[in-house]
Amino acid sequence: MDIGKRSGLTVLGLMVLVVFAAGSGRRRSSGTGTVTVTSAVATAATSSKPEPEEVPDPTTDYKSLDDAKLDGNKAFGKTILLKVWRGSTEASTVTLYGCGKLGGSGFLVASYAVDKRPLVKSIPTTIPIQGHCPRAVIKLTGKQDYSTDFKGELQQILDVTPAEAEKLPAGVDYVSMDDVTIDGKKAAGKVAQLRVYRGDTEEKKFTAYPCKAAGLHFITVNFKPEQKELVKGLSSTPVTCETVKMKLTNQDFVGTWSAQLMDVVKE
């Protein structure tokens, strides 16, 4: 192989590696003590402030779940500052995962007051590619019933602005899986229009996975024989999600629903 060809191959290889680095989660992690906060801040007390503002870290007892765990039960009643993203979000609890190095790799389930819900909904559902995970102050209250993971009370959320309520199309009660999960059983009998992709498919039902939902969710969607072609045409990869209108019939488990297919909404 001549030098020119080899040089071209090297440049191509290095470019692929740089793209890989840019896209992978390794670049999403937060560094230790070198993060400059430039995004908006909002807390329960200051949630009306729309302008971005820089605030220093609040004073807390811990800055990592590992440190708190090392103190065992002595950590109960103390506060911890974490950079977080969220998983399953229910009416009064949210699963918070530590982002990168500051918070370690653990998670905890935190309860939150209703007035903090718009802020909770603003916490990203994955580690953001651009920007940083928001900071949260949590008071540790104990441990989970069946694991050594902490539970706590969400006291303060920084670096986010409160989420605005989604505009609902006529005849639709929900356009986000977040709201369905937050309402829980109350959502049964209501109409949801969600972006989903199709999983396992059977004769009369298929599994729909909501796209960009917090936590793990799936909906078992029943359909009529005449809707078979609609179902067949649904995307089966998360890359191309489609909007599906369905009537929620029953909450089987947290984040797991049964529904009746109404229509596939073309956009």
Partner 1 sequence: MRTQAAVSARMREHYTRAQTFRYAKAGHPAYHRRAMAASAAEQVPVTLPRRLMLFVALPLFAGAVSYLIWRTDVPWMGAHRPLWPHAPALLRDHFADAAWGFAVGGLVASLWREGPRAVRAAWYGVGLAVSIGVELLQYAHVFPGAFDAVDLAAQAVAFVVGVLVVGGIERWTSANAVA
Binding-site ranges for partner 1 (CB under 8 A): 1, 3, 6-7, 9-10, 13-14, 17-18, 20-32, 34-35, 66, 85, 87, 97-98, 100-101, 104-107, 125-127, 129-130, 132, 215-216
For the bound state, the minimum distance from the C-beta of residue 210 to partner 1, rounded and expressed in Å, comes to 12
For the bound state, the minimum distance from the C-beta of residue 25 to partner 1, rounded and expressed in Å, comes to 4
| Residue number, 1 or 170, with CB nearest to partner 1 | 1
| Residue number, 107 or 197, with CB nearest to partner 1 | 107
For the bound state, the minimum distance from the C-beta of residue 94 to partner 1, rounded and expressed in Å, comes to 13
| Residue number, 31 or 233, with CB nearest to partner 1 | 31
Bridge partner residues of 243 (DSSP): 195, 265
| Residue number, 208 or 231, with CB nearest to partner 1 | 208
For the bound state, the minimum distance from the C-beta of residue 87 to partner 1, rounded and expressed in Å, comes to 6
For the bound state, the minimum distance from the C-beta of residue 107 to partner 1, rounded and expressed in Å, comes to 7
| Residue number, 73 or 130, with CB nearest to partner 1 | 130
